[in-house]
Structure 1
Amino acid sequence: MADQAEKLRKIMDRYSKKENTSEKQARKAKFIGITSGKGGVGKTNFTVNLAISLRRLGYKVIIVDGDLGLANVDLITGIYLKYNISHMFSQGKSIFDIMSEGPDGIKIISGGSGIKEFHLLSGKNLNQFINEIEKLEKYFDFIIMDTGAGISENVIKILLLSDDLVLVVTPDPTSLMDGYALLKTVVLYGYVGNIKTVVNMVGSKKEAEEVYNKLNGVSNRFLNKNIEFLGYLNRSFIVSNSVKKQQPFILDRPNSSVSKKINNIALKFINKEKSNDLKTKSLSQRLKEFFSIEGALNK
């Protein structure tokens, strides 16, 4: 049996032959950075289920697990990821070599476990990474980056490149405080994309709206930045059971309230994409510009 990487390359080759030149040039993947101020808020679980929902709407979706060194998308999906980003540099793997098939047709790239990655993205390695990202842009509609929690250089670099920044918070005051601190940091470093939030683990719609209003209020007041309310997810045994079973809840319980809420959130990305094409530069172009300036983060 051919290895998985070879299968993926063949699939991508077949797909590229179906598109004409103008379609290829027009394709620009939307880059979504999903983040949180602290761990334990359900960020990765939300990422995986959102990706599957977008895929079911007919879009080509890949998750890049950017929680480098503590990646856990594999735990949520229950799949074995043989390679990760570090193998691009240590073993000369291509982006397709380290790509794995995820549930329901999504693709996954692991950030690895116990490794420190983003400091490797300089010089020759950086050029290689950019070239590989350019390949992804040709084949996917959405590149979803699941960042690490908290404020770190790696997280901020990823978020500054995203078209849409999605902050996952819970009603926990520490989640709100740390989430606001993260937003403050990316805004101060000049983030110009869309900021959105999802309120997770709430007891009711009213509670979710109260949490959102608090966060949006301080963001407007002190950062002069409006936050879009994407939606909320209830605290549910369905979610916790799906994590234990390593089966995304949108597949395990597709007709549940929490799955329907994920689908509604996915539709907001689709409707936004159709109604307003804000993107003027590709991800690879922004990567080149960003890393060519040695940025304020390294000063």
Structure 2
Amino acid sequence: MNPDDYCQQKAARSGSSFYYAFLFLPPEQRKAITALYAFCREVDDIVDDTSEPSVARMKLAWWRTQVEQMFEGTPDHPVAIALARHVRTFGLRPDPLYAVIEGMEMDLDQFRYADWDALRKYCWHAAGVVGELSAAIFGHTDPRTLVYAETLGLAFQMTNIIRDVGDDARRGRIYLPADEMERFEVTVADILDARHSERFEALMAFQTQRALQLYGEAMRALPEADRRAQRPGLMMAAIYHALLAEIQRDRWHVLDQRIALTPIRKFWLAWKVWVTGGRGLVERLAGS
């Protein structure tokens, strides 16, 4: 199996919403963004699948050497080999890739977040910086597009956090800001024991509003000149925003189940944005 095929299988197996946006890209961009996504999956899987933190740290340290070798032309891992082919074409830099790894290291050290400022820092490492890397691959002419991409990444991560409250709790992690949990009188035990309540719904409604505000900020930052190039990000925005709306309609019953969109619905949402260029979507989300 060649490196590109390895990355393609990694992306397809994940079932992620990102995969549907990649399908519409020209071959070179599709290979580059798929390799970037596979890199993010590789380092994320280390934290999720490795029970011993010291072993996970060693694996993440190894990936740091792979990033270094990408820019020296000597990587070993199929994902690193695939991604290395695109760093010059799309002007990718090592620092954002190191920042992704730092985000995974945060998951080994921190299981609670005191407030939104602390959580926002984590979200930037986990997704904001990935948005910037993705925007470089999709293409842009205006530096404001990087602000759009970073903010959209934060919106995606908040959507993931809202969706995965139960799954994360079963791993011992709670990403909801501690000061806001206290404000809404939701305890750590409530989350860990999957106790759904009106207080929990109010807390989650607050988190959902934050995510919607981030979607709005992102859309308002996207320059018209780069809207067509950034269609893959808009396709993901359509899918993630629809997921957030589905969770809200279900009254945030996320403690004991995982709410998801069907593959056909994801494909339909992605296709619609590709055909329309995001007309209507940007304006609708900008009003959030």
TM interval, short-chain normalised: 0.3 to 0.5
Identify the structure with bigger relative contact order (alpha carbons < 8 Å, sequence gap 6+): 1
| TM-score under structure 1 length normalisation | 0.32
* Bigger proportion of residues as strand: 1
| TM-score under structure 2 length normalisation | 0.33
